[in-house]
Amino acid sequence: MLKNKGKKWGLSLSPRILITRPEEKSLDFSSQLKALGARPLIFPLTKIVPPKSFRAVDLSLHGWKEFDLVIFTSALAVQFFFLRAKDLNFRLSQPKILYAIGPQTKEALKAVGFQKVKMPREFRAEGLLEELKNVKGLRILIPRAKEAREILPRALRKRGALVEVPMVYQVLPHQKYIIRLKRMSEKDFDAVVFASGRSVKEFIKAFGILKSRKLFLKIPAVSIGPVTTKALRNFGISAVQSQSPKQAGLIAALKKVL
């Protein structure tokens, strides 16, 4: 693993940092790393696309006023859901209870006009479930990705809630970068940043599990949060976890290990 030996990162070293996030979420992060003297390599192993059908989304838009609680688990879910609402000329009122998991999701909701947004202390499904104890009989809407974790809707249904989970976007493998990653070796980068469990899976699939384990004994894997860290741990790989899902948190984590 590269160490800075007490010198300011960027003056004596130019670490090559592989960023596995979708390109649209990596450009600003990449610019910040460049300003610090690093050499970011944007390798979006996944790409974000609309669902094949908007039928479920459209039904939830028509029934918006009937929901007691609406939960958004990502800023992308907010973006795609309200883009569809705009396409259909829907003007949505403030729901009775509106939750966002994480500050970026909350900011995305504020950007589309919702100021009364609750947020759990822990920025993942488990944290929200700690707060939502009595949901029996409530109609709950969770617009999200096709590939999202099932823990939240499953647990809410077990507690007696009526939960609708329309798919507002899909996360697919980005074959162009996966092919390029297969041709790379452990000497081609000094750290890898992971922002989702799906990017972890695509990396391991492309690079190979044994080769990946060998790689991350030599260089750091930096994780955006506990869910991504768990995904890496499932493959026997340790990660340096960011203390915040924001870019500043990822940069701080990188500075600790480079």
Tens of pLDDT, residues 182-230: 999 888 989 999 998 999 999 999 999 999 999 999 999 999 988 899 9
At residue 3, the pLDDT reads: 43
Structure tokens at 25: 């979420």
0.85 exceeded by pTM: no
Burial level of 184, CB count in 10 A (0-12/13-18/19+)? middle
Q: Is 84 helix (H, G, I), strand (E, B) or coil?
A: helix
- How far apart, in whole angstroms, are the C-alpha atoms of residue 196 and residue 124? 12
At residue 55, the pLDDT reads: 96
Q: Is residue 5 over pLDDT 50?
A: no
Q: Once rounded to an integer, what is the mean pLDDT over residues 136-149?
A: 90
Cβ contacts of 70 within 8 Å, gap of 6 or more:
95, 97, 98, 99, 140, 141, 142, 143
Alpha-carbon distances, residue 225 vs 6, 30, 236, 246, 250 (angstroms): 27, 19, 17, 10, 10
Structure tokens at 181: 């990653």
Cβ contacts of 60 within 8 Å, gap of 6 or more:
67, 141, 143, 164, 166
Residue 205: count other Cβ atoms within 10 Å of its Cβ. 15
pLDDT bin (cut points 50, 70, 90) of residue 8 is: very low
- List of domains in the chain: 16-45+174-257 (3.40.50.10090), 49-171 (3.40.50.10090)
At residue 258, the pLDDT reads: 85
pLDDT bin (cut points 50, 70, 90) of residue 11 is: very low
Q: Is residue 6 over pLDDT 60?
A: no
- How far apart, in whole angstroms, are the C-alpha atoms of residue 94 and residue 73? 17
Q: Once rounded to an integer, what is the mean pLDDT over residues 112-118?
A: 93
Among 94-103, 143-152, 208-217, the minimum mean pLDDT is found in: 143-152
Q: Is residue 7 over pLDDT 80?
A: no
At residue 245, the pLDDT reads: 74
Which tens digit of pLDDT belongs to each residue from 120-136? 988 888 889 988 989 99
At residue 202, the pLDDT reads: 94
- How far apart, in whole angstroms, are the C-alpha atoms of residue 77 and residue 108? 9
Residues linked to residue 118 through DSSP beta bridges, in sequence order: 99
Of all residues in the chain, what percent carry a pLDDT higher than 70?
95
